[in-house]
Amino acid sequence: MNFRELALSQAILDALKVEGYTKPTPIQEAVIPLLLEGKDVMAKAQTGSGKSASFVLPILELLDQRRGEGKKAKIKVLVLTPTRELTLQVAAAFETFGRYLAVKPKAVAIIGGESIGDQLYKVQQGCDVLVATSGRFLEVLSKKQMNLSHIEFLVLDEADKMLNLGFSEELDGILEAIPAERQNLMFSATYPQKILDIASKITQKAVEVSIEDETETVANIKQRVIEVNRDNRGPLLRHLLKQEKYGQVLVFMANKRATDNIAMKFKKYGLSAQSFHGDLDQEERNETLQAFKQKKIQVLFATDIAARGLDIDDIDCVVNFDLPRSPADYIHRIGRTARAGKSGHALSFIDYESMAHFKLIEKRSEVTLKREQIEGFELLGEAPKKVKGPAPVKGKGKSKKDRAREKAAQEAKKN
Ligand code: AMP
């Protein structure tokens, strides 16, 4: 199938061509026709599947078909996303694919870390599409200076990533502010009960689309598990960068401070590295991301939160310097490489302490991977012995008083 068969207008086809999109991905093939028919859609899809274009393209098409003559733009589309980066990417996608339309749609991103006044000003200048993180959107909404009565499309992108952010309550406030009659679309990598509850809040009549491309993506990723002592992970990574000649590398770490420290160390060794975490302000994040995309930075050390939703092509290798806490995040992390049909590498560093956790990850991801050791970086020491016997029970130990009494008795015996 090609994009022309999906009944998109020439202006959109031209933009697709410029962007190098030759063939729709499975999610695009499934979702685009449904949205063009005016259906609500609930889609199970991952980042990397091409899901952004699957809603951006048909919405642009419908906006274009329903465009009135010479009127000031009204907000017709609201997209909610879990992160600032994803918000910016989706807003950019609307502009990129809409740029050859007779009336270019305007998309405004509403994200934390930037002035509300500036964002409101942009909205009031007239825009067709609002892309926002939900918390910030509510803040802007509370100023009561936006007209949301023309909203025709509501999109929840990466809904599963919004769950832990108190999203369900926020959504209630947002739904109250927009028209009940609208087309709804939701994307989520998983559909636990909480997500289904959210889905039922926004629509009762959605067509369900499930694209099992997760395994397809993972099939293109060469996964390796390397046993190495904690302190040797940095030197091993430098060694592998040199030996394997990886291009762009995204390294996941457990905490912010560690990403700063290691990025500094790598720079000392003459490598182009940078850290990426939630403590950076928005401008620093944008700059770092831009530099990484433009390959001015080769190695990006990131925390999970910061890396969520990043849309970067050409990541050659994803490294689990620290394992993800949740086994589900493993697939999500390594899916950052091998995007849109390319191949990629994923390395996980494990030591005695994380071995059991990695087994869990394998079970959950339905893979069994060979453990490797790299010459010169072998895992030393021994596995910590399991503690034998029952663990001490709280409250059953000797009290201070008892110990004092025993001591006194012993002293008395001695005398
Ligand atoms: P997404 O899942 O929307 O984050 O998209 C993942 C990556 O695939 C993005 O970098 C897109 O630019 C790219 N992409 C999406 N659809 C296509 C397509 N049909 N052809 C080529 N690249 C695509």
CATH number of the domain enclosing 308: 3.40.50.300
Whether residue 111 contacts residue 36, with contact meaning beta carbons closer than 8 Å, is answered with: no
Task: Name residues contacting ligand 1 (CB within 6 A).
Answer: 21, 23-25, 28, 47-53, 311, 313, 339-340
Whether 194 maps to a domain, the answer reads yes
Asked if 201 and 324 sit in the same domain, the reply is: no
Note down the domain range covering 204: 3-212
Report which protein residue has its CA nearest ligand 1's atom 10: 313
Minimum-distance ligand 1 atom for the alpha carbon of 25: 19
Contact between 40 and 181 under an 8 Å Cβ cutoff? The reply is no
Query: What is the CA(26)–ligand 1 centre distance, in A?
Result: 11
- 260 falls within a domain: yes
- Residue 50 placed within a domain: yes
The CA 92 to ligand 1 mean position distance, Å, reads: 13
Domain co-membership, 207 together with 342: no
In sequence order, the 6+-apart residues with CB closer than 8 A to the CB of 224 are: 345, 346, 347, 348, 369, 372
Task: Kindly tell me the number of DSSP H helices and DSSP E strands found in the chain.
Answer: 16, 14
CA–CA separation, 385 and 128 (whole Å): 62
* Whether 9 and 133 share a structural domain: yes
CA–centroid distance, residue 157 to ligand 1 (Å):
15
Residue 415 pLDDT: 43
What pLDDT is stored for residue 154 in this prediction? Answer: 98
- Give CA–CA dist 36/207, Å, rounded: 13
> Is residue 197 domain-shared with residue 103, that is, in the same domain?
yes
The pair of three-digit structure tokens given for residue 386, joined into one six-digit string? 């399991």
Could you identify the atom of ligand 1 that is nearest to the CA of residue 309?
4
One domain, residues 104 and 242: no
Write the residue with the smallest CA distance to atom 1 of ligand 1.
50
Instruction: Give the model's pLDDT for residue 133.
Output: 92
Question: CA dist 131 to 154, 156, 279, 354, Å?
Answer: 10, 10, 23, 39
**pLDDT value of position 408:** 63
Domain's final residue, options 372, 390, 409: 372
Residue in this structure with the two tokens 């430098």, named with its chain if needed = 238
Domain count for the chain, please give it: 2
**pLDDT given for residue 396 in this prediction:** 47
Which pLDDT does position 399 carry in this prediction? 58
314 and 185, same structural domain?
no
Atom 16 (ligand 1) nearest CA: 50
Q: Do 195 and 303 fall within a single domain?
A: no
The amino acid present at 224, given as its one-letter code, is: R
Assigned domain for 412 exists: no
> CA-to-CA distance for 344 and 325, rounded, in angstroms?
22
| Among protein residues, the one whose CA lies closest to atom 21 of ligand 1 | 21
Q: Is residue 85 a part of any domain in this protein?
A: yes
My answer on whether 151 and 241 are in the same domain is no
Give the whole-angstrom CA distance, residue 102 versus residue 107: 16
Tokens of 339: 């995007």
Q: Assess if residue 386 is contained within a domain.
A: no
Token pair in block for residue 321: 């310097």
* Most informative mutation of 52, 57, 248 for ligand 1 (most atoms within 8 A of CB): 52
| Pocket probe mutation, ligand 1, options 8, 17, 21, max atoms within 8 Å of Cβ | 21
Q: Is 325 left (phi over 0), alpha (psi -120 to 50) or beta?
A: alpha
- The rounded Å distance from CA 46 to ligand 1 centre is 11
Last residue of a domain, one of 177, 212, 247: 212
Q: Which two tokens stand for residue 164?
A: 């832990």
Distance CA 280, CA 300 (A): 14
Regarding whether 265 and 179 lie in a shared domain, the answer is no
At 170, list the tokens. Answer: 């926020």
Degrees to nearest 5, angle at CA 364 with 359 and 370? 40
**Phi then psi for 57, rounded to 5 degrees?**
-65, -55
Question: According to the model, what pLDDT value does residue 341 have?
Answer: 61
Listed as own residue / partner, the contacts of 1-9 with beta carbons closer than 8 Å and 24 or more positions apart are 1/29, 3/57, 6/32, 6/33, 6/36, 6/57, 7/33, 7/36, 7/61, 8/32, 8/57, 8/58, 8/61, 9/61, 9/64, 9/101
pLDDT tens-digit series, residues 261-319: 999 999 999 999 999 987 888 788 889 988 998 999 999 999 876 666 566 777 899 99
- Residue 286 sits in the same domain as residue 337: yes
Helix (H, G, I), strand (E, B) or coil at 130: strand
DSSP string, 207-276: EEEE--HHHHHHHTEEEEEEE--GGGHHHHHHHHHHHHT-SEEEEEES-HHHHHHHHHHHHHTT--EEEE
Q: What are the structure tokens assigned to 101, written together?
A: 């339309």
Residue stretches of the chain with pLDDT short of 70: 69-70, 164-165, 212-217, 305-311, 328, 339-342, 386-415
Residues 166 and 225 placed together within one structural domain of the fold: no
- Residue 224 belongs to some domain of the structure: yes
Distance between CA atoms of residues 13 and 360, nearest Å? 45
Is the residue at 380 inside a domain? no
CA of 19 to the centre of ligand 1 (A): 10
Same-domain pairing of 39 and 63: yes
pLDDT (0 to 100) of residue 409: 61
Residues 51, 56, 59, 64, Cα dihedral to 10°:
-150
